Structure 1
Amino acid sequence: MNRIDDLALLVGRLLMAALLLPSGLRKATNLGGTAQYFAGLGLPAPDLMAIAAASVEVGLPILLVLGVVPRLTAFLTGGFVLLTGLIAHRFWDVADPAAVVGQQIHFLKNIAIVGGTMFYFV
């Protein structure tokens, strides 16, 4: 690879981490609130899920930035973000039209992130 490709990959990884890491830190510093949110979504073992989500959302961005096991990191990040979109941003289940738009935006954002991880994967 040449320098511009390396720089573009680094910037892309930094931007992806800039989205995921703050979310993970918010979850990690408010595990109780995160668990309540997960319980409201009907997830099993919301306390454990909150810990897992916070760990993943803090750990994967760090691996992305460092470029550690890039293909595996890209695959895991894409899978996690896709799963998150399908679980937490189910706009098709929302009754309030205004809330539908917000959840749809979040869902499509997640799909775009998955696309970015696919580029990093290859």
Structure 2
Amino acid sequence: MTAFVESITGSRAFGFVARLVLTSMFWLSGIAKLADFNGGVAEMAHFGLEPPALFNIATAVVQLVGSALIIANRWTWLGAGMLAVFTALTIPLAHNFWTMEEPMRTVEFYIVMEHITVIGALMVVAWKTAR
């Protein structure tokens, strides 16, 4: 059984699909910020980021370039780092559960925990590709 599992998880196709799944939320968000530019700008303004158009572009670039580096498996550590830092920065900006009342406090707390899990997965990607 071990050889079978290793043959699957050790394949290039498995690595590609794993990187694609990991980065899918960043791809979708980055593309959405460009496809609905005004919506992305409104989102940045909602969180007090000025100038919102520049933050929308920067966010999309970080998400798409970071994801592309991971998918291409080139400078993967940089792509993972870009996305991890971006994800960490969203916590105090957009998911500051400690300032909220229930029930939103608990909802946002779980979103933060998911963000921390994604950061951990990005750390594993950087670690594994550096070996």
Unmatched tracts of structure 1, length 5 or more = none
Q: Is the 8 A contact 1:34 1:50 kept in 2?
A: yes
Matched, 1:101 2:106: yes
Structure 2 residue runs of 5 or longer lacking an equivalent are: 1-5
Tell me what 1:73 maps to: 79
TM-score by length of 1: 0.83
Report the RMSD for the aligned CA atoms in angstroms. 2.0
RCO higher in structure (CA 8 A, sep ≥6): 1
| Residue identity (%) | 24
**For residue 119 of structure 2, what is the aligned residue in structure 1?**
114
Please give the alpha-carbon distance, in whole angstroms, between the structure 1 residues aligned to 2:34 and 2:17: 25
Deviates more, 1:101-110 or 1:79-88: 101-110
State the partner residue of 1:49. Answer: 55
Matches within 5 A, 1:1-80: 4-5=9-10, 7=12, 9-80=15-86
**1:82 Cα deviation after fit:** 0.9
TM-score (norm 2): 0.78
